[in-house]
Amino acid sequence: MAPRVLISDALSPAAVQIFKDRGIEVDFQPALGKDKDKLAEIIGNYDGLAIRSATKVTPKILASAARLKVVGRAGIGVDNVDIPAATAKGVIVMNTPFGNSITTAEHAIAMMFALAREIPAADASTQAGKWEKNRFMGVELTAKTLGIIGCGNIGSIVADRALGLKMKVIAFDPFLSPERALDIGVEKVELDDLLARADIITLHTPLTDKTRNVLSAEAIAKTRKGVRIVNCARGGLVDEAALAQALESGHVAGAAFDVFITEPATENPLFGHPNVICTPHLGASTTEAQENVALQVAEQMSDYLLRGAISNAVNFPSITAEEAPKLKPFIELAEKLGSFAGQLTDTDIQTVRITYDGAVASLKIKALTSAAVAGLLRPALADINVVSAPSIAKERGIVVEETTREIAGDYESLITLTVITEKMERSISGTVFADGRPRIVDIKGIKVDAEFAPSMLYVTNEDRPGFVGSFASLLGDAGINIATFALGRDRQGGDAIALVEVDGKVPAELLDKVQQLPSVKQARPLAF
Ligand SMILES: NC(=O)C1=CN([C@@H]2O[C@H](COP(=O)(O)OP(=O)(O)OC[C@H]3O[C@@H](n4cnc5c(N)ncnc54)[C@H](O)[C@@H]3O)[C@@H](O)[C@H]2O)C=CC1
Ligand SMILES: O=C(O)CCC(=O)C(=O)O
């Protein structure tokens, strides 16, 4: 069945065409994002959801989204998507990190000019027939200091344009390296320094717990008198009420805002002030940017739904379309190795160590590790998935260690998963043979050769004559057919392992009887 995608915001129709061309069924309902009840009602029918900023992907929407595999944000900010809830559900969330950056930077520059020359007010006055030539006295931008808070993709483009305008550019961004600052021609400064020096401040950070209210009342009080403030990033970065007061007092000369704490903003403390310019979150609204982000999000979502390729996901490592088919059998192997260990582990896991040997070491091991951890924790947490596994392991204080060794041993590729609890350490290794099927090749240092099967019995015993006969008789007497039988031992008379595939479930009474065989140490059912 072809995957189905819902577009619930006003994306460029270019996206619709891409989905269709790729063989994906697509429903384009651009106003649906504003109707959360209707969205909750129908989201269960779709594998993908393509959005801009109007659709809010809340836990409630996700709870109704039984089939959903991917949310694609045609834009940058994903603050309208509940990422932890999507992750917990195994839904990949991807954005288009560059498609609208130039356009948004240009909007910030346009806002800066509009503020400096009061263009909106001058326009309104002129068109009202007033010709108030003496009312509007602007400021020149040349040689003024622009303070950029958040100098990533958009901030750097703003810096580049501002340098072209012969402005002095200073930037506060804890993650901006001195080398990068030098490269893009900005002076890296601390926030207080920026506040004290900037003639114009422009914000370009995401909204996070750290950036919320970065321009608080106290911060605004530290700015130069006559400062102008531009926000084309996110509402909530600036304390709107404090800014309104500072405008009122004349400390701040003007503010140009594209984004607001509450959107759609139909009322706001900044509205109505003479030196305030507002646009309705238009930063990304150009034909070019909307075409870019729509095409990109549709391509990315199609690649994921059709080929398992992941790009620009905010909650999973990237996997290219070329890597996806190579990874697939190893993802299955990693998840099953994890599942094997998880089904045998009764106590709290402290550490999971995963070693990738040979060719597999050059694949995207982050994805493989996530699969292994999902398999490992699934016996305890049914809802865990490859996407949510790393964060759940972290929450539970489980240390996940990865090692890669590119030199192959007996196998072209080998994955070894070691689980360490307070009481024990257990390792299991597996590989993928040329037929693409995963195999178990080593358990606790004992060589075996077994496939993963829907119903298995794992028995550890002392290597003594008679075990196989009495074990097989017990199963035969209980009417349980043995499909495959893999044996291994560390040495003659030492520790032995039997990994047996059976048809149907193993009854608890049979398990007890196997457990009571003289040489048996442990007998456990396993299911894959
Ligand atoms: N108005 C609109 O329509 C649009 C708004 N945006 C907003 O612009 C924001 C920035 O976009 P990009 O530049 O592409 O993101 P980016 O991730 O490239 O840059 C963000 C920068 O903020 C910095 N940062 C993070 N925490 C900080 C902190 N506590 N203090 C100072 N800097 C901090 C980061 O180090 C990074 O360099 C987006 O998150 C989005 O919210 C993006 C596109 C359109
Ligand atoms: O889609 C839009 O118009 C908003 C763009 C935006 O805010 C973003 O990309 O972060």
Task: Assign 172 to helix, strand or coil.
Answer: strand
379 CB within 6 A, ligand 2: no
Is the pLDDT assigned to residue 382 strictly greater than 80? no
pLDDT at residue number 381: 83
Whether residue 264 has a cis bond before it, omega within 30° of 0: yes
CB 270 within 8 A of CB 255: yes
In terms of Cβ atoms closer than 10 Å to its own Cβ (0-12, 13-18, 19+), residue 101 is buried
pLDDT band of residue 348 (cuts 50, 70, 90) is confident
- Give the nearest ligand 2 atom to 100 CA: 9
Structure token digits, residue 415: 């994955």
| For ligand 1, atom 23: residue with the closest CA | 150
CA–CA gap between residue 200 and residue 188 (Å, rounded): 16
pLDDT band of residue 527 (cuts 50, 70, 90) is very high
pLDDT in tens, 276-307: 999 999 999 999 999 999 999 999 999 999 99
Ligand nearest to the CA of 232: 1
pLDDT in tens, 207-249: 988 999 999 999 999 999 999 999 999 999 999 999 999 999 9
From the CA of 107, how far away is ligand 1's center (Å)? 14
pLDDT band of residue 11 (cuts 50, 70, 90) is very high
Residue of 22, 204, 234, 439 marked catalytic: 234
pLDDT band of residue 81 (cuts 50, 70, 90) is very high
Ligand nearest to the CA of 30: 2
| For ligand 1, atom 42: residue with the closest CA | 76
CA–CA gap between residue 195 and residue 175 (Å, rounded): 18
Residue of 263, 291, 323, 462 marked catalytic: 263
52 CB within 6 A, ligand 2: yes
Average the pLDDT over 431-452 and give the result.
94
pLDDT band of residue 198 (cuts 50, 70, 90) is very high
234 classed as catalytic: yes
Is the pLDDT assigned to residue 379 strictly greater than 90? no
Q: What is the largest CA-CA distance in the chain?
A: 108
Q: How far is CA 14 from CA 25, 283, 473, in A?
A: 14, 20, 66
CA–CA gap between residue 445 and residue 264 (Å, rounded): 62
Most informative mutation of 53, 98, 257, 285 for ligand 2 (most atoms within 8 A of CB)? 53
75 CB within 6 A, ligand 2: yes
CB 26 within 8 A of CB 20: yes
- Give the nearest ligand 1 atom to 283 CA: 3
ipTM above 0.95, yes or no: yes
Structure token digits, residue 143: 């040689």
The proportion of the chain whose per-residue pLDDT surpasses 70, expressed as a percent, equals 100
Strands, DSSP E only, in 63-178? 70-73, 92-94, 145-149, 168-172
Q: What is the mean pLDDT of the chain?
A: 95
| For ligand 1, atom 16: residue with the closest CA | 152
- Give the nearest ligand 2 atom to 95 CA: 9
Most informative mutation of 96, 106, 154 for ligand 1 (most atoms within 8 A of CB)? 154
281 classed as catalytic: yes
Average the pLDDT over 397-406 and give the result.
94
pLDDT at residue number 111: 98
Note the pTM of the prediction, 2 decimals: 0.82
> Where do we find the tokens 């429903």?
27
- Work out the angle between the directed axes of helices 467-477 and 508-516 (0-180°, nearest 10): 160
263 classed as catalytic: yes
- Give the nearest ligand 1 atom to 259 CA: 1
> At 248, phi and psi to the nearest 5?
-60, -45
Residues with CB under 6 A from ligand 1: 75-77, 97, 100-101, 104, 149-155, 172-175, 204-206, 210-211, 232-234, 258-259, 281, 283-284
| For ligand 2, atom 3: residue with the closest CA | 284
CA-derived radius of gyration, the chain: 30
pLDDT in tens, 150-193: 999 999 999 999 999 999 999 999 889 999 999 999 999 999 99
CB 227 within 8 A of CB 199: yes
From the CA of 77, how far away is ligand 2's center (Å)? 6
Three-class HEC string of 272-321: CCCCEEECCCCCCCCHHHHHHHHHHHHHHHHHHHHHCCECCECCCCCECC
CA–CA gap between residue 145 and residue 162 (Å, rounded): 9
Average the pLDDT over 107-114 and give the result.
98
CA–CA gap between residue 338 and residue 342 (Å, rounded): 6
Residue of 22, 281, 378, 439 marked catalytic: 281
> At 167, phi and psi to the nearest 5?
-90, 160
From the CA of 214, how far away is ligand 1's center (Å)? 13
Most informative mutation of 12, 34, 76 for ligand 2 (most atoms within 8 A of CB)? 76
pLDDT at residue number 423: 87
CA–CA gap between residue 255 and residue 200 (Å, rounded): 9
